[in-house]
Structure 1
Amino acid sequence: MPPAQTAPDTLPLQHPQSKTDLFVSFTWLALQGFGGVLAVVQRELVEKKRWMSREQFVEDWAVAQIMPGPNVVNLSMMIGGRYFGLPGALAALAGMLTAPMVLVLLLAALYGSVADSAEAQNALRGMGAVAAGLVAATGIKLIGALTKNALGMGMCVFLAVLTFIAIGLLRWPLLWVLLSIGGGACLWAYRVLSDVDADRAKKGDA
């Protein structure tokens, strides 16, 4: 019988070997991230490179999501800064932006000549559907990480549904959603974690 493969979540975490490793890795990640960057980032950083666990990815992605600027750029700088400080953050940022900037400029020049054609419009609609599917599939894949969240799976699902209703159905501005639902979730998590710390302190004194 072939040896059983180790599940990805049980493998030890790795870390970038150098600032060059950061630059090359995020350049390769950026070149794959046309339309469905969340799916690519999760696969590369969690499943392939093992630079973070699913739980760490969910937490860091949430922080990157609410910070100003593109979320994947924010995440790359967070990872680079975590291991190599400011030089690491700049190396990751350069990897995320250099090659895509050149390609986007070339594609923009080419697209300008065919932008009005029906074929180009239909191709863009098809790519949009694929990108939406990639993001949805990655979100479903990461649901398991919520079992270790301080709020619990039930509360996390409730907040996700509430956010979908607020943005998708009620059309609330993103800032309102972050301040109301996001702020409420932060306060609730702080209360839960404070209670956990208090219980641990009591057990330690006993």
Structure 2
Amino acid sequence: MPQTLPPVSVDSGSPPPSVLQIFLAFAKIGLTSFGGGLSGWMLREFVQRRNWLSEAEFLSGLALAQAFPGVNVVNLAIWVGFRLRGGVGALAGALGLVVPAMVLALVVVAAFATMAKSDSVHLALAGVAAAAVGLSLQTGLRAARRAARGLPALAVMVVTFVAIFLLKLPLLWVVGAMAPLSIGLAYLRLRAGGQA
């Protein structure tokens, strides 16, 4: 029978956040993050600021969210919400991330149609995109630092990067080959550690 993870709080003296707190936290992220970089914003909000998850838990959830089909940040919102409050927390996380931002996007699109020819708008959007790339890079570097424990893990990261970025191989094929290899290496490392 599969085990489910209990709701957690990094600070063991405080209870996990309420469902409303989860919804509002994700609504804040969805409404204040522009141009991508949401996983970096989530890391800051839930690990560094609110201390709801440890960095290791968050990065494990991020890896899992990226392995599933669909939008990575929505998958991550579902995982974080589930980790904090179970199924209702997962629903609160997904709805908090998507619904308020969707309503705002509809309003902004209607307003943007009248301002689309303004150079100032395009410059502002370029600046927001640059900041989003920086947030994504920060999260990627943190994940790489944590994942690159040992030569086999580092080799998997380098081969994956070269295959996708330099050789421009199809993502699906690279992930299909490297994910089982990486899982197998992690299993062997855990097994060897357990026998030591």
The TM-score range, normalised by the shorter chain, is 0.7 to 0.9
Q: Post-superposition shift, 1:156? A: 3.2
Q: Post-superposition shift, 1:173? A: 1.8
Greater Cα offset, 87-96 or 138-147: 138-147
Partner of 1:81 in structure 2?
82
Q: How does 1:50-199 map to 2 (within 5 A)?
A: 50-146=51-147, 152-197=149-194, 199=195
> Does the CA contact (< 8 Å) of 2:152 and 2:185 recur in 1?
no
> 1:60-91 deviations in whole A, cap 9, x for unaligned?
10000111122121112112223433222111
> Does the CA contact (< 8 Å) of 2:17 and 2:84 recur in 1?
no
Question: TM-score w.r.t. structure 2 length?
Answer: 0.81
Q: Post-superposition shift, 1:185? A: 0.6
Q: Post-superposition shift, 1:122? A: 4.3
Aligned-pair identity in percent equals 34
> Does the CA contact (< 8 Å) of 2:16 and 2:85 recur in 1?
no
Partner of 1:12 in structure 2?
11
Q: Post-superposition shift, 1:42? A: 0.7
Aligned residues: 185
| SS of structure 1 residue aligned to 2:155 | helix
Mind listing any 5+ residue stretches in structure 2 that lack a counterpart? 1-9
Mind listing any 5+ residue stretches in structure 1 that lack a counterpart? 1-10, 201-206
> Does the CA contact (< 8 Å) of 2:34 and 2:129 recur in 1?
no
Question: TM-score w.r.t. structure 1 length?
Answer: 0.78
Q: Post-superposition shift, 1:120? A: 4.1
Partner of 2:6 in structure 1?
none
Partner of 1:41 in structure 2?
42
Distance 1:189-1:100 versus aligned 2 partners, 3 A rule: same
How far apart in 2 are the matches of 1:158 and 1:116?
47
What is the root-mean-square deviation of aligned Cα atoms in Å? 2.3
> Does the CA contact (< 8 Å) of 1:32 and 1:40 recur in 2?
no
* Greater Rg over alpha carbons, structure: 1
Residue identity in the other structure for 2:16: P
